[in-house]
Structure 1
Amino acid sequence: MKRRIKKVAVIGSGIMGSGIACHFANIGAEVLLLDIVPNQLTESEQKKGLTLENNAVRNRIVNDNLVAALKSNPSPIYDKKFANRITTGNTTDDLAKIKDVDWIIEVVVERLDIKKAVYEQIEKYRKPGTLITSNTSGIPIHLMSEGRSEDFQEHFCGTHFFNPVRYLKLFEIIPGPKTKPEVLDFLNNYGEQFLGKTSVVAKDTPAFIGNRIGIYGIMSLFHLVKDMEMTIEEVDKLTGPVIGRPKSATFRTVDVVGLDTLVHVANGLYENCPNDEAHNLFQLPDFISKMMENKWLGSKTKQGFYKKVDKEILSLDLNTLEYRPQQKANFQTLEATKSIDKVIDRFKVLVKGKDKAGEFYRKSFAGLFAYVSNRIPEITDDLYKIDDAMKAGFGWEHGPFQVWDAVGVQAGLDMIKETGEQAAPWIEEMLASGNQSFYTVKDGSNYYYDIPSKSQKKIPGQDTFIILDNIRNNKKVWGNSETTLHDLGDGILNLEFHSKMNAIGGGVISGINKAIDIAENEYEGLVIGNQAANFSVGANLAMIFMMAVEQEYDELNFAIKSFQDTMMRVRYSAIPVIAAPHGMTLGGGCELTMHADKAVAAAETYIGLVEFGVGVIPGGGGSKEMALRASDQFKKNDVKLNILQEYFMTVGTAKVATSAYEAYDLGILQKGKDVIVVNKDRQIAEAKKHALLLAQAGYTPPVHRKDIQVLGKQALGAFLVGTDGMLAGKYISDHDRKIANKLAYVMAGGDLSEPTLVTEQYLLDMEREAFLSLCTEKKTLERIQYMLTKGKPLRN
């Protein structure tokens, strides 16, 4: 039977329930979100003379929770309009409506008796065959479905999302004793393809996979920090981006998640895992117990390991439990990794450090390596699932077994023995069998060490992915210092940037032109995409700054024209060019995306023309393109100025879309042309597919545009009046006005006396002239320098 999910019911509207509801709304599903009826009126409701029978009162809990979720930052929803896909109600009046849904997700309080009572009610209305899952993070799945019907149990399992649901990719699927294999297969595929998740089928063990390993990691650090007499700043310095972990590292992460949440899971593991060799590590250290007593739970109570007082952030001294000014953490070992760009290449250096940092890494990694080896086959049979869970659920760039491979399996085993830990016997057996690593790459696919067969097996589910790391060596067609051109097969190439932050400078421009040359002569199409954290942060600001400071205006003019010409080549080349933006896609990265034949954007794409922040206007065709797109929107009897003004404001306020869907609203992505993929892992494969489709349909380049309607003085005058008013009201600075007026001149097409049809080159020349003139301004140079040194915009 082909199963489709059109409508979902979410029972429980707390932080997780509302987050799950929002994410299903993100992907286009209709959602019924239910919660309990309040048992008493609020003071406000009493003053209004309402009763418990009033509909607004009965749905107050669910409505308040959903409103709070939609107001939260970061937002759980791609576009505020998508909230219309969610209908709210209560479990007393509206539970019968679940008969019409395809999937029921229970997200009520973590108490077995309450969950079982909810299931009893659900079974009265659920139609046979409907999926029923629980988002529990700790209660055994087999206990929940006891006493339910055969059909209920066959279609029941755990589906554990991680918070925040939109952003964390882990989707753990935990079968019950009678769950049908086809139900697991469906959920596994649905999670990957539609929810954009990393689906991991886990065993029904305490805390499943992600939290079992993640909580061990945090609790072991809580003990290690005391044993080694380290500060929380030192630990956060060592466990953050330097090893591919989030900026919040360890202690800041606990503050964000909530110490009480961590303690709840740790206590559960202490009680339910008596045979775990690390059992004692799940016992709370004294300083954690004291923090719990004091209700220092983190962000939710305004203090935890860190506390903000006025504008200063203080740190907790774990010895005195008093807050003090933050202390800078410096280690010689970290200095040795500064020249190593790839995180995976740093681990070998880190564990050899001679200072406290090196000792910390040896002890913490040895403990982690031993622990994960001993969890197989308890929590999973396959080591890659542990790595997948930690990357997708905790934001680690590399999982424990990948890090172990980077250190060296034998070297890691030696570390384990030196620190008094004990690895599982299968590690020695693996090395004895001739397998020297947990992972290998063959024919562009990842393989993992399978313990029972003592051989490397292909990781399933890769057929829909293209992993650039795996084809970089044997599929390389051409490259320079900032780009690499790969053959994706079927006549499609991929150009990957690897400049710092994927900034667009001379090397990238050269790479784009060379890629188009090669594609036009020998291939069918080109994808421009990468699998780094961000697509591109824009033009190489340092290069622009140096040219402007040294007043090399001819060279700067040539560089800008080269950028513009390259963008036009992307648009008018003889082969289809597909851009695959994701993450930060700013300035020049945005301009590149807008000039491609099609964008295949990841849902999590933060895209915008942000040049205003550094004192210039978009100079790589972005200003021209916004004027062109406004012109294409003009219809008979429209107030054309209003349409142009929307595009002008998008650029003038440096708006950045918080999702690819929001980029549709800003006119940066175009409905009907550009497409969005929820699972970023599928993006390059999807972009290749679209390039191939365009090529096979007999691709013909678009015709050079000579029909862009500009409004001239009519628009320019209105914009100049507007910027004067903004300055008078002190909303903008004098320099802001100058930049805005330059943009106005370009997007209006100059001071033409009447609306006129112009060419793209006409607008590009005006755009370049405006960009150059702003680069001669002292205040613009101050803005660029501030961005380069501080990483944030200056308002001057």
Structure 2
Amino acid sequence: MSKKLLVRRAAVLGAGVMGAQIAAHLTNAGVDTVLFDLAAKEGDPNGVVTKAIANVAKLSPAPLADKSLAERITPANYETGLELLRGCDLVIEAIAERMDWKQDLYRKIAPFVPAHAVLASNTSGLGINALADVLPEELRHRFLGVHFFNPPRYMHLAELIPAKMTDREVLDGLETFLTTTLGKGVVIAKDTPNFIGNRIGVFSMLAAMHHTERLGLGFDTVDSLTGPAIGRPKSATYRTADVVGLDTMAHVIKTMADTLPDDPWHRHFKAPVWLTGLVEKGALGQKTGAGFYTKRGKDILVLDVAARDYRPTAGDLDPDVAAILKERDPAKKFAALRASEHPQAQFLWSVFRDTFHYSAYHLQDIADTARDVDFAMRWGYGWSQGPFETWQAAGWQQVAQWIAEDVAAGKTMADAPLPAWVAARNGAHEPAGSFSPAQNTAVARSSNPVYARQRFPDALLGEQFAPGKTLFENDGVRLWADDDDIAVVSFKTKMHTVSDQVLDGLQEAIGIAERDFGGLVIWQPKEPFSAGADLAGALGLLQAGNVAGFEAMVENFQRTSQRIKYALVPVVAAVRGLALGGGCEFQMHAARSVFALESYVGLVEAGVGLLPAGGGLKEFAVRASQAAGPGGDVFAQLKAPFESVAMAKVSTSAFEAKSLKLARESDVVTFNSHELLHVAKANARALAEAGYRPPLPARNIAVAGDVGIASLQMMLINMLEGMFISPHDYEIATRIATIMCGGMVDRGSVVDEEWLLKLERQHFVELAQMPKTQERIAHMLKTGKPLRN
């Protein structure tokens, strides 16, 4: 068994954009982190780092999962702070991409790095073995490359690049730490320029630029072709270049030209004239306000090379090409793209073909297996499928033949032949594993024990993971189990919304779990956890005038929440992605919730003119009474949750869900969403093993009453008079306040749960019948956006 990498304290060297964000993410994960940079020329010697930490708290998307974490990062400098390194278990160097600067820093820090610590260079493409040359002998076996993608909190990919002398247990230990503690998808890359992700990713952008020029297409047209239409991010090609920075893009291309002189595609490793022209003009993309695109007023304009000026974006897909891209069968789609004479179709075929060609030719140099290449492109570049998966889905041998024909006809960007292994196989992936050129066979997934925590890892083309044994199923849910004592229930509805079938199915699932299992986990195979109640069904009942049916649905919702809370086995909610409305209320009633870090939680009903009525407001009142204790100030406990609900706030992380009081302090946060089910089951099992009993029914709930309602109304009146909210917002928020404070009763009165649930139902049904609320629901269903009426 490989030795664990124990990381109590880490250091990050370099407080630039990447270094500061890596430090932020380590801090998110509960790692005590020291951030270093040069000593400031005047004032506080740590001033450079202090400023960088302050800046991190302002960035969007936020590198910190909670703003308050900024103060946990320890600032330090290389002149007075190097002694702090002696207490670190992991040191990540993240200074500028200059070999000489990095090596100078290594010489300086080497005497202070403890004998057990791991030293890693966060570089996007410099030689790891060359960097290691200056290290003392005893440190070399604990040194390797780690390449985080930007922004490090959100990008799943981390490339690990061992040097020749890196110990295997160091590599395995860091892979485990990155996977579980930081939530990353790790690929092992070879020590070649730009490693895997940027080698293939930048090449595919160069191919797109080459064929843009060759076919005379507009930059906006290319972005229409290379975005969601082919399973890639909305930023596509040229918008991505603008975001990355055109100077950075030009630098990366130059690095490829300088470091890959023998690459058969070398003549294409140069920035097109128009890219160089933009850089010389200082139009570097998003950071300077102009690049391939610019904004004038509200209009987005795109560069027109011929006119040497910006024009309004058009960039529409040709209808025939759009129809080809909608074809579900990849083999038919690729055949049609290749056969079409339309420049847009020819562009797509050419870029795919050249990327396949390049990936196959260089696989042996850059990676151990085709799996690493495909995951690098998915996790680092947001492609829905990697190049080998795309090729294989389109018909491996047929596409290989077409590539060979195009090579022979001089149509490809290089005349290098496809490697021999391509013709000898029917694809890069098969049930036994993914192809490794070095071993000339398919190789199974990593045997690192960390991956035993992933019951359903990210699946490659053709990979199947046993779905577990179905115990019960209806149109709303599936209850299933492996050969253990914890059952799992998953929703089958679109966006995992809560329908009557989900409500009935959950109640049935809890009954089966109580009878036959130690615990139950509510978990979805894919995000989101749940987008809340089925609004369309609810609006249908209202428009048909079926108020009784509508009220019965609300009552059933509440009954399901209470069934979760008072189940005789622990029910654990495993949340990732959106948990809105009823989805949020379900996790509030669970014995425990386990959140993926990227959980966006909120009671958002006010946005559609309603209020939470699945027991959520009742639960806030119960928690406030419990937190205040006998004779305590209940109202003080209600202010934060009231604001969260009345303003329909949604957390930007699991930690923020706790500060908004939408999650409990005792709830668990896990960083790798592929480990969520494992952690949730472990929590359910631990509760069961400890002799779990549900809470006793809450019968003595002290409430804030009429005084609490009046206090919250004063706040609302100020917002109404300042025109921050509409009269209908005021109406909704007043009703929310009324329920959370226990109704128009004396302050300090004692009520039970049924009283609060009845208040929820009453106000929910009354609101639902109001025309302004029905307008809001209809608008949300039609546009997906809230209406402020």
**TM-score for both structures, normalised by structure 1:** 0.91
1:759 to 752, 765, 775: 752
Aligned to 2:455: 466
Aligned to 2:430: 439
Alignment map for 1:88-127 (pairs within 5 Å): 88-127=75-114
- CA distance in 2 between counterparts of 1:352 and 1:482 reads 39
Q: CA deviation at 1:88?
A: 0.9
Q: More displaced, 296-305 or 240-249?
A: 240-249
Alignment map for 1:401-550 (pairs within 5 Å): 401-417=388-404, 419-420=406-407, 422-431=417-426, 438-440=429-431, 447-451=433-437, 452-455=439-442, 457-461=444-448, 462-467=451-456, 470-471=464-465, 475-550=469-544
Aligned to 2:279: 292
Q: Is the 8 A contact 1:337 1:346 kept in 2?
A: no
Mark the runs of 5 or more structure 1 residues left unpaired by the alignment.
40-51, 442-446
- CA distance in 2 between counterparts of 1:365 and 1:515 reads 47
Q: Is the 8 A contact 2:634 2:703 kept in 1?
A: no
- CA distance in 2 between counterparts of 1:32 and 1:660 reads 24
Q: CA deviation at 1:117?
A: 1.2
Aligned to 2:225: 238
Alignment map for 1:616-765 (pairs within 5 Å): 616-636=610-630, 638-672=632-666, 674-765=667-758
Aligned to 1:551: 545
- CA distance in 2 between counterparts of 1:371 and 1:332 reads 30
Deviation readout 1:85-104 (Å, 9 max, x if unpaired):
21112212222322222222
Q: More displaced, 627-636 or 233-242?
A: 233-242
Deviation readout 1:556-584 (Å, 9 max, x if unpaired):
22222222222222222333222111112
- CA distance in 2 between counterparts of 1:476 and 1:687 reads 19
Q: CA deviation at 1:774?
A: 1.5
Q: Is the 8 A contact 1:471 1:486 kept in 2?
A: no
Q: Is the 8 A contact 1:240 1:249 kept in 2?
A: yes
- CA distance in 2 between counterparts of 1:368 and 1:533 reads 30
Aligned to 1:327: 314
Aligned to 2:763: 770
Alignment map for 1:131-210 (pairs within 5 Å): 131-210=118-197
Q: Is the 8 A contact 1:353 1:359 kept in 2?
A: no
Aligned to 2:14: 12
Q: Give the number of aligned pairs.
A: 767
SS state at 1:746 partner: helix
- CA distance in 1 between counterparts of 2:418 and 2:780 reads 48
Q: Is the 8 A contact 2:468 2:482 kept in 1?
A: no
- CA distance in 2 between counterparts of 1:84 and 1:687 reads 30
- CA distance in 2 between counterparts of 1:439 and 1:632 reads 56
**Amino acid paired to 2:16:** G
**Amino acid paired to 1:448:** S
Alignment map for 1:568-647 (pairs within 5 Å): 568-636=562-630, 638-647=632-641
- CA distance in 2 between counterparts of 1:338 and 1:497 reads 30
- CA distance in 1 between counterparts of 2:476 and 2:706 reads 43
- CA distance in 1 between counterparts of 2:734 and 2:502 reads 31
Mark the runs of 5 or more structure 2 residues left unpaired by the alignment.
none
Q: CA deviation at 1:685?
A: 1.4
Q: 1:306 to 1:628 in 2, by over 3 A?
A: farther
**Amino acid paired to 1:463:** A
Q: Is the 8 A contact 1:7 1:29 kept in 2?
A: yes
SS state at 1:581 partner: strand
Q: CA deviation at 1:312?
A: 1.8
SS state at 1:351 partner: helix
Q: CA deviation at 1:186?
A: 1.3
Q: 1:118 to 1:789 in 2, by over 3 A?
A: same
Deviation readout 1:332-363 (Å, 9 max, x if unpaired):
468659999xxxx6745643546656544433
Q: 1:515 to 1:353 in 2, by over 3 A?
A: farther
Aligned to 1:48: none
Q: CA deviation at 1:761?
A: 2.3
- CA distance in 2 between counterparts of 1:687 and 1:311 reads 46
Q: 1:795 to 1:37 in 2, by over 3 A?
A: same
- CA distance in 1 between counterparts of 2:202 and 2:34 reads 33
1:364 to 351, 371, 377: 351
Aligned to 1:46: none
- CA distance in 2 between counterparts of 1:412 and 1:554 reads 60
- CA distance in 2 between counterparts of 1:124 and 1:657 reads 44
SS state at 2:526 partner: coil
Identical pairs, percent: 36
Q: Is the 8 A contact 2:157 2:379 kept in 1?
A: yes
- CA distance in 2 between counterparts of 1:793 and 1:616 reads 12
Q: More displaced, 493-502 or 560-569?
A: 493-502
Aligned to 2:46: 59
Q: More displaced, 177-186 or 466-475?
A: 466-475
- CA distance in 1 between counterparts of 2:331 and 2:61 reads 35
- CA distance in 1 between counterparts of 2:656 and 2:345 reads 45
Aligned to 2:199: 212
Q: More displaced, 495-504 or 577-586?
A: 495-504
Deviation readout 1:640-692 (Å, 9 max, x if unpaired):
212222221111111211111121222221122x2111111111111122222
Q: CA deviation at 1:739?
A: 0.6
- CA distance in 2 between counterparts of 1:2 and 1:716 reads 54
- CA distance in 2 between counterparts of 1:598 and 1:414 reads 55
Q: Is the 8 A contact 1:79 1:661 kept in 2?
A: yes
Q: Is the 8 A contact 2:119 2:143 kept in 1?
A: yes
Q: CA deviation at 1:399?
A: 2.2
Deviation readout 1:749-776 (Å, 9 max, x if unpaired):
1111342222222212211221222122
Q: Is the 8 A contact 2:599 2:654 kept in 1?
A: yes
Q: Is the 8 A contact 1:448 1:459 kept in 2?
A: no
Backbone CA RMSD of aligned residues: 2.5
Q: 1:499 to 1:235 in 2, by over 3 A?
A: farther
Aligned to 1:33: 35
Q: Is the 8 A contact 1:527 1:691 kept in 2?
A: yes
Deviation readout 1:526-569 (Å, 9 max, x if unpaired):
22112424222222222233333343322222222222222222
Q: 1:656 to 1:387 in 2, by over 3 A?
A: same
Q: More displaced, 258-267 or 552-561?
A: 552-561
**Amino acid paired to 2:762:** E
Deviation readout 1:718-769 (Å, 9 max, x if unpaired):
2223322221222211111011111111111111134222222221221122
Q: Is the 8 A contact 2:594 2:676 kept in 1?
A: yes
- CA distance in 1 between counterparts of 2:759 and 2:97 reads 62
Q: CA deviation at 1:133?
A: 1.6
Q: More displaced, 606-615 or 277-286?
A: 277-286
- CA distance in 2 between counterparts of 1:359 and 1:506 reads 49
SS state at 2:295 partner: strand
